[in-house]
Amino acid sequence: MTTTNDSGERPEHAEGGRYTTKGKEFVRDTRYITTRITADGADGYPVEPGRYRLVAARACPWANRAIIVRRLLGLEDAISLGLPGPTHDARSWTFDLDPDGKDPVLGIHRLQEAYFRRDPDYSRGITVPAMVDVPTGAVVTNDFAQITLDFSGQWREHHRPGAPDLYPQRHREEIDAVNDRVFREVNNGVYRCGFAGSQEAYDKAYGRLFAALDWLEERLSGQRYLVGETLTEADVRLFTTLVRFDAVYHGHFKCNRNKLSEMPALWGYARDLFQTPGFGDTIDFAQIKQHYYIVHTDINPTQIVPQGPDLSGWLTPHGRESLGGRPFGDGTAPGPVRPGEEVTPGHNPLVVTGN
């Protein structure tokens, strides 16, 4: 589990990187394996359909981004998907959802094995998402922010017909600015609250988080999407935090000034995205809750997973169409979820039965 050693580090925390509580304030280790898979193969790993496997746990918001972008762009034929279970121990994510607890493509029980094939002395967090080179079994990169940008740019030749442009050139400066604030104050902000090591650190983190959510509430009151008239990378990055807010962050991380469902614009925006193909159909609420409440024993030592909240509200009308915008621009929505990649029935209000 995410135990703490004498230095204050949780050495194998697996959501976006190792972190410390330096000065009793949460500090995320953002040193990643920054090798890139590119069309020109400049780093030694060229874009090549079938060569790489995306390992991405549904429970993790950072990994969930990559699952969404892969689906929106239609990269399922080009990049296979490995799904670890929702919990892990101090060593690694494990493939306990697969027969015999072994990834059927990589042939490994623990993601740690792929990291050690890249670097036998690797000492940082065994994180998801990770892109793994199937022929060698070695991790290429775990730089979650760059992975999705490269899906949009470097893998363009292999996008499905009608795939959206999630990182349009004309909006990149604004997308980057929004992403930076959302990462610092919201995506990472909920963790800064949850893992604060003092009342002072928590109070500061809490104030920063809700100031940013108030900014987003105002911004989204007058526009359907975060940047421009269509879905972009910015919407993907915010969504994976919002969709976990009431189920986990409100209680488990003490982000409890109000629920997401009590912020009209943000709640409508989140429901709009959830009901858009490629977003909500990747969400497994049961795995999300199991991960946070079982793995974080320093916060929840009993490992009791709450029954709530009621998820039916995610399917209620959101009315965001009145703000205009075209989710996929000149493109089209992705088709049905690929067989074998569906969320378990009952773990998501969109997936009630196996049909």
Tell me the CATH number at 253.
1.20.1050.10
Q: How far apart are CA 204 and CA 145, in angstroms?
A: 26
**pLDDT confidence of residue 25:** 86
In a domain, 107, yes or no: no
Structure tokens at 70: 């892969």
Number of other residues whose CB lies within 10 A of the CB of residue 302: 8
**C-alpha closest to that of 305 among 326, 288, 328, 319:** 288
Q: Which residues of the chain are modeled with pLDDT < 70?
A: 1-23, 353-355
**pLDDT confidence of residue 21:** 54
> What is each CA distance from 195 to 10, 153, 296, in whole angstroms?
11, 35, 10
Domain range enclosing 211: 169-281
Q: Are strands 80-82 and 52-55 parallel, antiparallel or unpaired?
A: parallel
Looking at the DSSP bridge assignments, the partners of residue 348 are 351
DSSP conformation letters of 95-127: -TTSGGG--TTT--SBTHHHHHHH-TT--S---
In a domain, 304, yes or no: no
In a domain, 240, yes or no: yes
Q: How far apart are CA 318 and CA 332, in angstroms?
A: 21
In a domain, 259, yes or no: yes
In a domain, 332, yes or no: no
Residues carrying an active site annotation: 60, 191
Q: How far apart are CA 181 and CA 42, in angstroms?
A: 30
> What is each CA distance from 155 to 34, 69, 171, 186, in whole angstroms?
17, 11, 20, 28
Helix (H, G, I), strand (E, B) or coil at 347: coil
Q: How far apart are CA 247 and CA 227, in angstroms?
A: 26
**pLDDT confidence of residue 9:** 31
Phi, psi (degrees; rounded to nearest 5) at 294:
-95, -40
The pTM is what?
0.94
pLDDT digits (tens, 9 = 90+) for 267-294: 999 999 999 999 999 999 999 999 999 9
> What is each CA distance from 235 to 106, 175, 288, 306, in whole angstroms?
31, 9, 20, 28
Helix (H, G, I), strand (E, B) or coil at 334: coil
Query: What residue type is 317 in one-letter code?
Result: P
State the total domains in the chain: 1
Q: How far apart are CA 19 and CA 27, in angstroms?
A: 5
In a domain, 66, yes or no: no
In a domain, 184, yes or no: yes
Number of other residues whose CB lies within 10 A of the CB of residue 17: 18
Structure tokens at 130: 């990770």
Side-by-side strand order, sheet with 138-141 = 80-82, 52-55, 130-133, 138-141
Number of other residues whose CB lies within 10 A of the CB of residue 44: 11
In a domain, 227, yes or no: yes
